[in-house]
Amino acid sequence: MWTYDRRLQFPVKIACPNANTAKIIITQFGGPDGELAASQRYLSQRYSMPFREVAGVLTDIGTEELAHMEMICAIVHQLTRNLSIEQIKDAGFDTYFVDHTAGLWPQAASGTPFSATVFQSKGDAITDLTEDMAAEQKARTTYDNILRLVDDPDVREPIKFLRAREIVHFQRFGEAMRIVTDKLDSKNVYAFNPEFDRMKTSD
């Protein structure tokens, strides 16, 4: 499925730790529109996708989302390493610290733990791709919000890179949707589930 290059997709080098910023950015690890959810969404959906080229898009983007999760974890780690207990308390990071120290654990900025209920794998090509396009826009909005809140250029640059990739993914899923609808239109069908149904013809 993939090969692993032992470097981040975009460099993360943060000079100034900041637990307040980490509390915001961790949402893109374990939040409802974060990279963990995205990777699991696309890598789950690929198995029921009836068209190989679209399954390939899901695989490509799903594995890239794992690389994005790695970047987010690197950002949060660098923002929280070497903090004093006073800095942890002052930032309100003590409630996270007491459970996880400075380890990485998937949660939203609200503190809500990661849950698979934030994404869907429906087994219908059009339904799944519609969810995927919406997911990329929700992630883009989250990155927009992070950029509104964070001033540190060491943090902003990798976040801007991740935001740009959400836009590319949205475009790729749009292209995948066109492939699926063209294939269905060419056969005069409105639905195709290879596991349970034959091609169903429209009236």
| Residue 65 annotated as part of some ligand binding site | yes
For residues 126 and 62, give the distance between their C-alpha atoms in angstroms, rounded to a whole number: 17
Q: What is the pLDDT of residue 193?
A: 60
Q: Which tokens hold the place of 171?
A: 């475009």
- Burial of 33 by CB count in 10 Å (0-12 exposed, 13-18 middle, 19+ buried)? buried
pLDDT-derived band at 194 (thresholds 50, 70, 90) equals low
Q: Does the pLDDT of residue 200 top 60, yes or no?
A: no
| Residue 86 annotated as part of some ligand binding site | no
189: phi > 0 → left, psi -120 to 50 → alpha, else beta; which? beta
| Residue 185 annotated as part of some ligand binding site | no
| Residue 169 annotated as part of some ligand binding site | yes
Q: Which tokens hold the place of 111?
A: 């503190």
Q: Does the pLDDT of residue 180 top 90, yes or no?
A: yes
Provide mean pLDDT across the span 33-51.
97
**Percentage, residues of the chain above pLDDT 70:** 91
Nearest to 106 by CA among 194, 195, 25, 189: 25
Q: Does the pLDDT of residue 192 top 90, yes or no?
A: no
Q: What is the pLDDT of residue 202?
A: 45
